[in-house]
Amino acid sequence: MRHYLAMRRPLARSLKRFFRGSSTALVLLGCVLFKGGGSISDAYAQEMAPLPALVPPPPMGTPPSPTLPNDPNSPGSVAGPGAYPAYPGAEQATVAKLDEAEREDSGRKFELFWFDAQLGASYIDMRQFSSETLAIEKASAGGPMFALGAGVRFVLLTLGVRARYNALSSFNMWQINGEIGFKIPIRNVDLLFGLHGGYSFVGSLGEGATATNSGNTQANSDAVKVRGFNAGLDLAVDYYVTPTVSVGGGFVGDFLLLNRPPVGVPAGLTPDQQAAVAADPLYQRSGTSAGLQLGGALRLGFHFGL
């Protein structure tokens, strides 16, 4: 028993010291809580503040509210200077115009190469403006005309070459031309304004086409050569039946500058004929002339591209 009491005395002293220190700590903690309680309670109150109320979505079928132009707070807007406002009406109008243009599209290709054939008529007067010892008796005539052409096209600009044959009543004339033109497309129609120029030569003259002062010495028509240059205008209209095929009509007008070299003296002439030939300008010197050509033709074209 004495031993038990001896063990309880130190334990009691330890408990008294513990509770004495604990009460002091509790007093200090109460003072701190009393002085700082306002800020802690305020922070706790702010932390536990209620969230803002959620706005319910608009009912189904309600049109959206209009978006102000260039509003940086609106969803999907592009903020900053120079930003384009979104106008649903303007967008719908643009789409409608694109749809209309697609419906009205002619469906034509981006043309790069072309080929055409022409059939018509022409009139040529080799002495229309002037004639210096041309010595061609039948220098004007009319008749059918045929032509073939080919070339390239760069949007509005066309470049090409053409061979034209004029099978006239008194003579025939070939022409080899280079062409440059401008084609203005209007839906399925092209309007052509062009220039051309090249080399012209008479293939053959009809019998009695040459004028001679040599009496009974008739010049050989095949020996008489007429050649020179031509330059003129082209006007045409082409209608595109399909993106590849076109039909139309055109008109040409040319200025001709021609030359006739001296004709060679035929062999086997009598002395009288030789004297007449020596005085005949057809054999002794060349002749020149300035003439006119007019023509029109139907056109059949083929067009290739992308």
If DSSP codes are grouped into helix, strand and coil, which group holds residue 175?
strand
| Structural domains in the chain, sorted by start | 111-305 (2.40.160.20)
* The two three-digit tokens of residue 74, written as one number: 């609106």
Q: How far is CA 140 from the centre of its chain?
A: 43
* Residue where the block lists tokens 């002062």: 213
d(CA 74, CA 68): 8
pLDDT, position 240 = 95
Give kind and range of the element (H or E) at residue 114.
strand 111-132
pTM of the model: 0.61
d(CA 299, CA 125): 24
pLDDT, position 101 = 62
126 to 29, 73, 129, 295: CA distances (angstroms): 131, 83, 8, 14
DSSP characters for 177-235?
EEEEEEEEEETTEEEEEEEEEEEEEEEEE-TT-B--SSTT-PPPGGG---EEEEEEEEE
pLDDT, position 210 = 59
pLDDT, position 44 = 45
248 to 239, 252, 272, 296: CA distances (angstroms): 6, 14, 58, 11
Return phi, psi of residue 271, to 5°: -60, -35
pLDDT, position 132 = 74
208 Rama sector, left if φ>0, alpha if ψ -120 to 50, beta otherwise: left
Count of C-beta atoms within a 10 Å radius of residue 283:
21
pLDDT, position 1 = 47
pLDDT, position 131 = 80
Chunk the chain into consecutive blocks of 10 residues (it has 306) and report each block's average pLDDT, rounded to whole numbers. 49 53 49 46 51 64 54 52 55 74 66 96 92 80 96 95 94 95 93 97 71 53 84 97 95 94 75 74 80 97 92
d(CA 234, CA 143): 19
Cα end-to-end distance, the chain, whole Å: 122
